[in-house]
Amino acid sequence: MTFASQEIIGLASNRYCVFEPILPRIQTMRVLVVNNLITEEDQYSAVARQAPDFNAKRWADLERKIAGMALNNITGNIQKFVRTPEIETVSLAQLDEAAVAAFDPDAVVLSGTLRDFDFYEPRLLDNFNAFIQTTRLPVLGICGGHQLIGQAFGAQITTIDGQPPATKRSGRLIEYQYRFVKITDTQDPIFAGVEDRPLPKWQKYTERRHLLRVWQNHGLEVDRLPAGFAQLARGYLSEHQMFVRRTAEQLIYGVQFHLEKSFQDWQTDKYWEHRNESRDGRLLFDNFLVEALKFRGKGQQVLTGDLSKFAAAPKAQAVSAGSAGSVSDVPATGF
């Protein structure tokens, strides 16, 4: 029997990709996913309403459509890493201490974004900043979520070539497709297992253990390391690809790239085989969930030893914020 065809009886989801069986090591976990895209027409700022192409309904419809894909990618990862997950999705407007306390998650994952932040109604950013600056829950911010974290702790958001977003709404330099980033702190536990990436199943670059190959799709970046954060990885176009805030009260990770692409289009991939290509991304996502449980004092929920003997219970259904829809008429957004 080949490694690719091995089946582990009892697992609800059996393979990471066509090369490697999936052996989820987290028994149970509660994860709150935050949809950072705009969901309602009244959530656009006065600045947005002055844009030449502004159309509240058309813009909001597009953001809701993209959100369906983005959130499905994120929850799909969680459902494959956790044997019995509980997942709840809230919008940025719904994110507050009361909503969080009601669900009592073990981790919070922030989705990407589409619009420039000055197009958001200011109260959305004010509420987010108040939450992220005080939360004691482990947080992972992805792409636009990474940038939201950055601005909350003092960084500015600029175009990749250092311009204020308002001065260059279109024609921006974009970091797109799979790119290499360089790990700058190999000791951080989010990189656990990088040294053990199998060869030759993974690509030749894995011989250089300080490199990650991850999916990029962004035209904005944080212009500096936020106050109280440590840098974890850097890139050729965007310097601050990964950072972390690790204190006794907080564990907050930000990643500029899309580590959640690992399982996109599981049944239908034809051109971008993310389930094969983004193995580094899913390694980091899995490690974040494990570190979040440890930070919450729930390390016993991480299984050790021979994982094949643990059967998985039926997977919980994520609370969806939108249908996936067709991607044929949606511009590339990183989702």
Q: What is the pLDDT along the chain (335 residues), one digit of tens a residue?
A: 232 333 434 343 444 455 566 789 999 999 999 999 999 999 999 999 999 999 999 999 999 999 998 999 899 899 989 999 999 999 999 998 888 999 999 999 999 999 999 999 999 999 999 999 999 999 999 999 999 999 999 999 999 999 999 999 999 999 998 899 999 999 999 999 888 877 656 677 777 779 999 999 999 999 999 999 999 999 999 999 999 999 999 999 999 999 998 765 545 555 556 766 778 898 999 999 999 999 999 999 999 887 776 654 445 444 443 333 333 333 333 33
Q: How far is CA 132 from CA 39, 45, 108, 213, 271, in A?
A: 20, 21, 10, 28, 37
pLDDT at 204: 76
pLDDT for residue 188: 97
DSSP tag of 120: B
β-pairing, 251-255 with 139-142?
parallel
Which amino acid is present at 67? A
Give the predicted TM-score (pTM) of the model: 0.87
pLDDT at 136: 97
**Is the separation of the CB atoms in 117 and 218 below 8 Å?**
no
**109: DSSP letter:** E
How high is the pLDDT of residue 159?
97
44: DSSP letter:
B
Q: What pLDDT is attached to residue 218?
A: 96
Please classify residue 1 by burial: count the beta carbons closer than 10 Å to its beta carbon, then call 0-12 exposed, 13-18 middle and 19+ buried: exposed
Please, which residues have CB within 8 angstroms of residue 256's CB and are 6 or more apart in sequence? 143, 146, 147, 216, 218, 221, 222, 235, 238, 240, 241, 242
Domains and CATH numbers, the chain: 3-156+172-309 (3.40.50.880)
Q: Are 212 and 195 in contact (CB under 8 A)?
A: no
Can you tell me the distance from the alpha carbon of 21 to that of 231, in angstroms, rounded to the nearest whole number? 32
Q: What distances in angstroms separate CA 125 from CA 36, 65, 95, 243, 267, one per listed residue?
A: 10, 22, 11, 20, 37
How far apart are alpha carbons 158 and 154 in whole angstroms? 13
pLDDT at 316: 46
Classify the phi-psi angles of 274: left when phi > 0, otherwise alpha if psi is within -120 to 50, otherwise beta.
alpha
Q: What is the pLDDT of residue 331?
A: 31
Torsion (CA) 270, 276, 278, 282 in degrees, nearest 10? 120
